[in-house]
Structure 1
Amino acid sequence: MKNQLEPSISEADASDDALGEASNVVSKNTMRFDARSLLAELPHLPGVYRYYDAAGHILYVGKARDLKRRVSSYFNKTQLSPRIALMVNSITKVEITVTRSETEALLLENNLIKALHPKYNILFRDDKSYPFLKLTGQTYPRMVYYRGTIDRRAEYFGPFPSRWAVRESIRILQKVFQLRTCEDSVFTNRTRPCLLHQIHRCSGPCVGLISEEDYARDVSNAIAFLSGRQQEILKKLEINMLSYSKALKFEQAMVVRNQMQALSSILQQQSMETVTDVDADVLAVVCQGGRTCVNLAMVRGGRHLGDKAYFPIVFEYSFDDKHETFIGLSENIDLADDAPLMDTGIGISLETRLLETFVAQHYIDQPVPPILIVSHALPDKELLDVLSQQMGRRIKILRQPKGKRRVWLDMARQGAQLALNRLLNEESSQQARIHALVDVLGLKLDNPDELRIECFDVSHTQGEATLASCVVFHHHKMQNGEYRRFDIHGITPGDDYAAMRQVLTRHYGRFLGVVAEKISTVSQIHSDAVLEVNLPQLVLIDGGAGQVEVARQVFDMLGLDTGVIVGVAKGEGRKVGLETLIFADGRASLSLGRESAALMLIAQIRDEAHRFAITGMRNKRAKARRASGLEGIEGIGAKRRQRLLLRFGGMQGVMAASMDELASVQGISSTLAEEIYRKFH
């Protein structure tokens, strides 16, 4: 029976709507894939294609100028690389989305790669946004470190490659221009200068030690400094100093002179200073030992702000003998219908492919500086056109820079090499620890490097704000994106056993597709459900025999293997190396000793679970305490609570305030002020 192609809803519909595309999705929903039927239906139009396997997992996302020719090249050719052949053999469904142009296809492709994380695409996974320096406020703007969504009501400078770069810029601005960094609530209620004013890091606007006009001038100079106009600032400061001197305002002249000296000193210390004010990003790629690194260095206003290394996930690429040439498919090559796929003589270096993919995934919908200094060529001209259209100006690519820019590129290469060496050393050490752990525990694994460990910990303060954590170790490192926190409810405060029972039941019961609260016997669980769950090979429990017994009961109830449960009981003085391993399947306890590589790995994972649990518990506890202090008082709503917190700078200030001070807040009567005072006294 001939299988028919059926229209289906694509995962990219939300992205399609955002791009304003006219979309047409074609899918093949059969277990036995018929490529011929699919290819006959494909249009000669630009768009994005997506490959899926039998389990419905995304394999690959690609763009094409001509969908029919591009997708056909995968199925009509026989000389495929091992990587591509493996992928093609796994395809059971293809979806396409037609776009109006190749530019829209590029945008959609990168949005889908970031959202779906296809196995065969090069992935630059980074769940953290870049930090900015933020100037907020109207009369006396405040400097602050910021990471998050951009708000147009404030001014932002960056992005910076690291938190350190932002902190260093704030330190410079404090030293030269003495801008404030305090919270607005603190600024409003100050009655005398703070310590920062005494050490000449703030001009004291909170108590009127600087006029609004002078402060605005300092803010303007700080903005110019962040924009790279340092020489312009020095000239302005010199003119101001001379004008103050002529007017016999020697104190003001001295202040300006001090600013000039501080700024000159900083410029001399800045070894990466250039004659011209340049905004540029420097990108260097290094491959070694089967791993790759893309290093991004940021230069703003001629100041080198530091770099950040990325380690992309690359699935089974093939190299030649020199480990330089990537053999495979290129989205930038427009193959003719009758052109042999692997006989074109075209070889794309892995470094080039990585660099091109990084630029696409990193800069789409992100600010792009006017200059990109790169270690390898970028053959995709369409990508540069998209970035130029996005920024409304031409983006210049420098492949072989000279002078200071050459120094930047060499430094970026060196930084990439150092970061890659560090990663390889860490992975080698972790690999040795993993193999030692597998041997000590007698784990039966086909590939020890694929060991997956989940660790659980419970944290609370004398029963208050109980919270449990689950952290994951896989592929030689902690997988932060898979961490989970669980709010524990409905137990006796301080009952660690009940908390551990709840978190394990909720976590593994969810994976089994059952309602944890309704499970009483193993017979209630469908037998196939247990087999379909990708459980860890090792489950660590931070606790002693009691917690391990609770975990054993939960696993028995869920029909899971109790042999994977290992408790980590703390030793004397809670010192690392004195822990005892307790097994749920009846094996004798183990004390590995301080020199054990296996115990070092267990302690690392246990400590991370403890850190993740205790930080979440403290945040939960602080939030509960802040809320409960005022929410429990009748007559205190959201607006009155906000006014009180703003007036007194937080709950500590409210608790320390007198009844008269409380009554001075808008909306707080004397009776209500008395109730608030009695609440805390």
Structure 2
Amino acid sequence: MSEIDPLPTPEAFDSAAFLKNLTGRPGVYRMIDDSGTVIYVGKAKNLKKRVSSYFRNTGLTSKTRVMVAQIASIDTTVTHTENEALILENNLIKELMPRYNILLRDDKTYPYLLISGDTFPRLSLHRGAKRKAGKYFGPYPSAGAVRESLNLLQKLFPVRQCDDSYYQNRSRPCLQYQIKRCTAPCVGLISESEYQKDVQHTIMFLEGKNKEVMDNLSEEMDAASQRLDFEQAAVIRDKVVSLRRIQERQYVTSNQGEFDVLAALVKDGLAVVEVCFIRGGRNLGSKSFFPKGSADSSPEELLSAFIPQYYLGKNIPSEILLSHEAEDITLLQDVLEQESDHKVSLRLPQRGQGVRWMQMAKTNADISLAHRLSSRANLLQRFELLQDALELDEMPKRIECFDISHTRGERTVASCVVFGLEGAIKADYRKFNIEGITGGDDYAAMNQALTRRFTRLQKGEGKRPDLLLIDGGKGQITEAKEVLAELNLSDLPILGIAKGPERRPGEETLFLVGRAGEVTLSADSPALHLLQQVRDEAHRFAITGHRQRRAKARKTSSLETIEGLGPKRRQKLLQQFGGLQEVQRAGVEALSKVDGISKALAQKIYDVFHGDNA
């Protein structure tokens, strides 16, 4: 690859001069604003043609025109092939998160079911790299879907699910054996050959071979009846009945392959991609994705952006069914094949079972989008009602809430959570470790947190809220008012929310700075529910931060702060005295008798626990 230097012109980007020297080779371009932030990343088979298209006079969407107006410079990277450009584009989008790209927030590792390769295999949930020997089934859309399958399989085929350490140290059967969910291989109550039958049936079930499993079980049931072992025949009969009921509840195709179904839908300023996971002809579940920055995109553009971000770096199925033909579908297919080392088909189903799966995915996408739109409408209504209740000139679109948490003044932490019209904006959450105050002084803690937050705002860091919500009464509000006045932010509305005398929800007292008396909202007011939601989230975030800080401090020994006392000497010291409590009680003479501890170092150790006046 070779780099083409950017042409920075922050005042007005000279597109004609830039395009004049731009190459026609494949590559990736990065559009940069006057603050040096990358606002868009794209790929091109021909860089000159693609970048030129942004500067034509007609045919641009409003979103594209706004973006182009912010361009101060353009960086380009030439690649050998268009495939290489697509992979680089995907990596840069994930790294830089440009605000005008369609962004998929999905960094999670999807879970699998694992049947281990042991003599008596274990059935378990697995995440991460597939290093352990055994057979993997999935991916599943969530851990909940895996646990549901584990629970179902345990009832049908009692393959052990316990940890290996637990299994290896059993001397008698556990409760799972008593309730007929395991055959106790740990204590030899089942032979390896009999156990392997259950394992094999489990594998066949997960591969979608339900009919073969039922045929095998029917043969075993007949054999048991002929041996006059009617009790065993009844157990097998119950398994067959359960399998039939499962088949009735879930549509299973005769196609034993692995494929995903992607349905894209754009409606009322929101976009969704529904992904259904089909493995061995069985539907393992689905997951809804709402990519950021996709409101003005077509379903074809949405899928084109979604597919590389979602699949590159993951296990790619051999077939992906699409609701719409993604842009650059051939290029996408080539790159996925290159990444997966096997043939990958991207296609629109035309008939048969594929059409049925697609219809199901579209239905789920429609329902997910309807729920999302409904939640958004409800949230917007709450913000509007809050504006009316507080008699604000404008509807607040960004609320910041602060809370303080500590235990008897120890390790105080302040939290700041942010809510907007889209709900919680977790990327903007902040925690402040409070230092240099009297333990338990919530007013001083609030003052320090607000000073740090809004001093940064005055330096150009972060966004200004439309409403500052303080979890507390008049004392905390007074601190907030003083901090904002000192930073020349007195026009920012401040609202305090204090718990009522009985601390019951709905009995909160509200104080709005600049308004005489309390603000009264009924217990069933949607505006009050919004404030409660934001306050509770700030409380949760503060407690979590405080507990983490306290736990970290308690894991750190005071001996670790002493200069000259390394790990080996600390270990000798603790071994000699039998623990930290005895070290604290020891005098300088006793400490200096430990091998490697000089009198000077012993004095340092003593001073840490007793001060400098010893």
If the length of structure 1 is used for normalisation, what is the TM-score? 0.73
Q: Which residue does 1:651 correspond to in 2?
A: none
Q: Which residue does 1:429 correspond to in 2?
A: 378
C-alpha displacement of 1:102: 0.2
The question of whether the paired residues in 2 share the 8 Å contact of 1:119 and 1:315 is answered with no
C-alpha displacement of 1:211: 5.1
Q: Which residue does 2:423 correspond to in 1?
A: 477
Q: Find 1:158's aligned residue among 138, 142, 166.
A: 138
- Residue 459 in 1 paired to residue 405 in 2? yes
- Residue 384 in 1 paired to residue 333 in 2? yes
Q: 1:188 to 1:313 in 2, by over 3 A?
A: same
Amino acid at match of 1:596: S
Deviations 1:80-133 (A, max 9, x none): 333322222221110111111100111111222223232322223345443333
Aligned with 2:497: secondary structure?
A: strand
Cα distance in 2 for partners of 1:75, 1:426 equals 38
How does 1:122-521 map onto structure 2 within 5 Å?
A: 122-134=102-114, 138=118, 142-147=122-127, 149-153=128-132, 156-184=136-164, 186-187=166-167, 189-210=169-190, 215=195, 218-234=198-214, 257=236, 260-261=239-240, 264-265=243-244, 267-314=246-293, 317=296, 350-380=298-328, 381-445=330-394, 448=395, 451-462=397-408, 466-488=412-434, 494-509=440-455, 511-512=456-457
The question of whether the paired residues in 2 share the 8 Å contact of 1:22 and 1:100 is answered with no
Q: 1:473 to 1:367 in 2, by over 3 A?
A: same
Cα distance in 1 for partners of 2:512, 2:248 equals 58
Cα distance in 1 for partners of 2:234, 2:405 equals 52
Cα distance in 1 for partners of 2:472, 2:292 equals 35
The question of whether the paired residues in 2 share the 8 Å contact of 1:134 and 1:154 is answered with no
C-alpha displacement of 1:254: 6.0
Q: Which residue does 1:95 correspond to in 2?
A: 75
Cα distance in 2 for partners of 1:403, 1:264 equals 25
Cα distance in 2 for partners of 1:189, 1:456 equals 50
Deviations 1:59-92 (A, max 9, x none): 2211111112221222255453333222222211
Q: Which residue does 2:42 correspond to in 1?
A: 62
The number of residue pairs the alignment matches comes to 573
Q: 1:208 to 1:495 in 2, by over 3 A?
A: farther
If the length of structure 2 is used for normalisation, what is the TM-score? 0.80
Cα distance in 2 for partners of 1:573, 1:45 equals 71
Q: 1:425 to 1:562 in 2, by over 3 A?
A: same
- Residue 86 in 1 paired to residue 66 in 2? yes
Q: 1:424 to 1:36 in 2, by over 3 A?
A: same
Amino acid at match of 2:423: K
Of residues 391-400 and 104-113 in structure 1, the stretch that sits farther from structure 2 once superposed is: 391-400
The question of whether the paired residues in 2 share the 8 Å contact of 1:371 and 1:395 is answered with yes
Amino acid at match of 2:279: R
C-alpha displacement of 1:180: 3.6
C-alpha displacement of 1:316: 6.5
The question of whether the paired residues in 1 share the 8 Å contact of 2:271 and 2:294 is answered with no
Cα distance in 1 for partners of 2:339, 2:228 equals 50
Q: 1:419 to 1:568 in 2, by over 3 A?
A: same
Cα distance in 1 for partners of 2:180, 2:433 equals 46
C-alpha displacement of 1:191: 4.8
Cα distance in 2 for partners of 1:505, 1:492 equals 17
Deviations 1:180-225 (A, max 9, x none): 4444554455554433332222333444444566556644543443
C-alpha displacement of 1:453: 1.2
Q: Find 2:497's aligned residue among 549, 568, 576.
A: 568
Cα distance in 2 for partners of 1:33, 1:373 equals 42
- Residue 75 in 1 paired to residue 49 in 2? no
Q: Which residue does 2:563 correspond to in 1?
A: none
Cα distance in 2 for partners of 1:89, 1:352 equals 25
Cα distance in 2 for partners of 1:185, 1:29 equals 64
C-alpha displacement of 1:435: 1.3
C-alpha displacement of 1:586: 6.7
Q: Which residue does 1:590 correspond to in 2?
A: 519
Cα distance in 1 for partners of 2:313, 2:409 equals 46
C-alpha displacement of 1:270: 4.0
Q: 1:79 to 1:277 in 2, by over 3 A?
A: closer
How does 1:99-110 map onto structure 2 within 5 Å?
A: 99-110=79-90
Cα distance in 2 for partners of 1:137, 1:585 equals 70
Deviations 1:636-674 (A, max 9, x none): x99xxxxxxxxxxxxxxxxxxxxxxxxxxxx9xxx9999
The question of whether the paired residues in 2 share the 8 Å contact of 1:44 and 1:67 is answered with yes
The question of whether the paired residues in 2 share the 8 Å contact of 1:23 and 1:99 is answered with no
Aligned with 2:265: secondary structure?
A: strand
Cα distance in 2 for partners of 1:593, 1:622 equals 40
Q: What are structure 1's unaligned runs of at least 5 residues? A: 1-20, 318-325, 327-349, 513-528, 632-636, 639-666
Q: 1:89 to 1:293 in 2, by over 3 A?
A: same
C-alpha displacement of 1:244: 8.2
The question of whether the paired residues in 2 share the 8 Å contact of 1:224 and 1:230 is answered with yes
Amino acid at match of 2:178: Q
Q: 1:588 to 1:627 in 2, by over 3 A?
A: same
C-alpha displacement of 1:614: 3.6
The question of whether the paired residues in 2 share the 8 Å contact of 1:63 and 1:105 is answered with yes
C-alpha displacement of 1:160: 1.5
What root-mean-square deviation, in Å, do the aligned CA atoms of Structure 1 and Structure 2 show? 4.1
How does 1:629-640 map onto structure 2 within 5 Å?
A: none
The question of whether the paired residues in 1 share the 8 Å contact of 2:319 and 2:346 is answered with yes
Cα distance in 2 for partners of 1:472, 1:539 equals 10
Aligned with 2:502: secondary structure?
A: helix
The question of whether the paired residues in 1 share the 8 Å contact of 2:218 and 2:240 is answered with no
The question of whether the paired residues in 1 share the 8 Å contact of 2:272 and 2:369 is answered with yes
- Residue 547 in 1 paired to residue 476 in 2? yes
The question of whether the paired residues in 2 share the 8 Å contact of 1:131 and 1:162 is answered with yes
C-alpha displacement of 1:482: 2.9
Cα distance in 1 for partners of 2:133, 2:446 equals 45
Deviations 1:248-304 (A, max 9, x none): 796996698378537624543442112232322112222322322221111111111
Of residues 108-117 and 120-129 in structure 1, the stretch that sits farther from structure 2 once superposed is: 120-129
Cα distance in 1 for partners of 2:450, 2:508 equals 22
Cα distance in 2 for partners of 1:468, 1:135 equals 46
Of residues 203-212 and 471-480 in structure 1, the stretch that sits farther from structure 2 once superposed is: 203-212
Q: Which has the higher contact order (CA 8 A, sep 6+)?
A: 1
Cα distance in 2 for partners of 1:549, 1:216 equals 71
Q: Which residue does 2:594 correspond to in 1?
A: none
The question of whether the paired residues in 1 share the 8 Å contact of 2:222 and 2:233 is answered with no
Cα distance in 2 for partners of 1:159, 1:478 equals 29
Cα distance in 2 for partners of 1:613, 1:72 equals 50
Aligned with 1:574: secondary structure?
A: coil
Amino acid at match of 1:538: L
Amino acid at match of 1:282: V
Q: 1:384 to 1:454 in 2, by over 3 A?
A: same
C-alpha displacement of 1:475: 3.1
Q: Which residue does 1:649 correspond to in 2?
A: none
C-alpha displacement of 1:535: 1.8
Cα distance in 2 for partners of 1:146, 1:46 equals 40
